[in-house]
Every structure is written in structure tokens, then in C-alpha cells.
Amino acid sequence: MRGVVFHGTLGTFTWRMLATVLVAQGVVVFLGALVARGIASAQSDEGGSTWLWVGVALAVLCFLAAGLMRRAWGVTLGWLIQLLTLASAVIVPMMLVVGLLFLALWVGSLVLCARAEDQLAAARERAERTQ
């Protein structure tokens, strides 16, 4: 039985679910970048454009990582994105809630999908033995 992994290849179901989490996370991070820019503009902060571009870069990284989930280091990149999303709470405090929600989805997908793949493999093995 597998659990939380930080590097290595994943089963098809697992990497597809993780990619789905990252795509959704990318959309939400992009929206958070717009919020950061809006907050900066409302406070007459000159760094609004910078926060927007940093958020857009993180969102693009989410989309790229979703496409790279098949690679052994794709899950490592996904963990880095989880940390960066949590760190974005320094700029937009509500991103802490967003980061924790996506972290829970990330860990849940890693654990539950790996468990489902293990059970499917065991069922296939039992079926092969009975034939």
C-alpha cells in the first residue's frame, strides 16, 4: 500500500486526479493574483503589477505541472506548487484557506487514488489466479 509520495512515477488514475487538482488550482491562483492587484491598487501600492505577474506565473506553473504529472519529478513540482500557494497568503491572506483546501485535495488524491489503484491491481491478480 502506497501513501504520500514526493517523487516517483504514479499510477494513471493518480496522476490524472493530481493534474485535475493542479488545473483547478491554477484557475483559483490566477483569480487570487487579480485580487492581489486589486488590493494593491486600492491601497495605492505600486507593486500591484508585480503581484499580478507573480500570480500569473504561479498559475502557469500549475498548468505546466498538470501536464508533467506523468514524469517522476512531476509530483515533486506539485508539492512545490502547494508550498508556493500557501506562501501567497503573505500577499492575500485568504489564499491561506485556498492553499489549505488545495493541499487537502492534493494529499487526499495521492492517498485515495493510490489505494484505489492498489485494490484494482489486487483484484486483477486474484482474477488471473482463478482463471
Q: State pLDDT tens for residues 54-90.
A: 999 999 999 999 999 999 899 999 999 999 999 999 9
Dihedral sign for Cα 20, 22, 28, 31, please. Answer: negative
Spell out, as residue ranges, where the chain has pLDDT lower than 70.
1-3
What count of other Cβ atoms lies within 10 Å of the Cβ of residue 20?
14
Task: Give the containing element (helix H, strand E) for 67.
Answer: helix 48-67
Q: Which residues contact 101 (CB under 8 A, 6 or more apart)?
A: none
Model pLDDT, residue 1: 47
Domain boundaries, the chain: 12-130
Name the DSSP class of 7: S
Q: Are 104 and 16 a contacting pair, CB within 8 Å?
A: no
124 membership: H or E segment, kind and range: helix 95-130
Instruction: Check: CB of residue 48 under 8 Å from CB of residue 41.
Output: yes
What does R_g of the chain's alpha carbons equal in angstroms?
18
Which pLDDT belongs to residue 14?
A: 86
**N-to-C CA span, the chain:** 25
